[in-house]
């Protein structure tokens, strides 16, 4: 009887523990501004925020405006790892891309070594919009879970 209770307790503990998952987002921003003028970084927040504190419900009957909490959303504690820009004066710099890949690989391997699993990767580009633009970024979000 004691063995049955022990095994049942272990199974229940494992079942509840398996449901509790934690996620972490790390973002890389790589500049695609010509002549190497942009800034490229890996950003890792060191703070937690509860999205519910900054969420409001809008209805048709609601004529009042909620006061903005935008200033409180800002995170002031984060890690910033420098990356190299995709472009320099000569154009695309493939060595910079390879160097960024090495740093991102190191970051991913460190996260995995600390018990995180890479669950999703999402990326987007805001690229040069023509002769007068000269701006652009390549952003990637790495979503880890444990």
User: Is residue 5 domain-resident?
Assistant: no
Segment 40-45 mean pLDDT: 94
User: Is residue 11 domain-resident?
Assistant: no
In the chain, the number of structural domains is 1
User: Is residue 17 domain-resident?
Assistant: no
pTM of the model: 0.74
Rounded-to-integer distance, Cα 48 and Cα 117, Å: 19
Segment 107-128 mean pLDDT: 93
At 109 the three-state DSSP class reads helix
**Residue in this structure with the two tokens 């509860």, named with its chain if needed:** 50
At 35 the three-state DSSP class reads helix
Q: What is the pLDDT of residues 17-36, one digit of tens each?
A: 556 799 999 999 998 877 76
The CA-based dihedral angle spanning residues 69, 71, 73, 75, taken in that order and rounded to the nearest 10 degrees: -170
User: Is residue 74 domain-resident?
Assistant: yes
pLDDT at 119 over 70: yes
pLDDT at 64 over 60: no
User: Is residue 140 domain-resident?
Assistant: yes
Q: What is the pLDDT of residues 72-108, one digit of tens each?
A: 888 889 999 999 988 877 778 899 999 999 999 999 9
Segment 25-50 mean pLDDT: 88
The domain in which residue 107 lies consists of: 22-145
User: Is residue 90 domain-resident?
Assistant: yes
User: Is residue 50 domain-resident?
Assistant: yes
């Amino acid at each position: 009887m004691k063995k049955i209770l022990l095994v049942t307790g272990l199974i229940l503990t494992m079942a509840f523990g398996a449901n509790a998952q934690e996620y972490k987002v790390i973002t890389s921003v790589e500049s695609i501004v010509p002549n190497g003028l942009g800034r490229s970084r890996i950003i890792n927040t060191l703070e937690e925020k509860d999205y519910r504190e900054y969420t409001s419900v809008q209805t048709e009957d609601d004529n009042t405006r909620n006061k903005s909490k935008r200033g409180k959303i800002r995170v002031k504690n984060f890690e910033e790892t420098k990356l190299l820009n995709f472009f320099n004066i000569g154009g695309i710099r493939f060595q910079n891309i390879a160097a960024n890949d090495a740093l991102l690989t190191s970051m991913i391997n460190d996260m995995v070594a600390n018990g995180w699993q890479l669950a999703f990767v999402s990326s987007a580009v805001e690229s040069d919009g023509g002769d007068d633009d000269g701006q652009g970024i390549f952003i990637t979000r790495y979503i880890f879970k444990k």
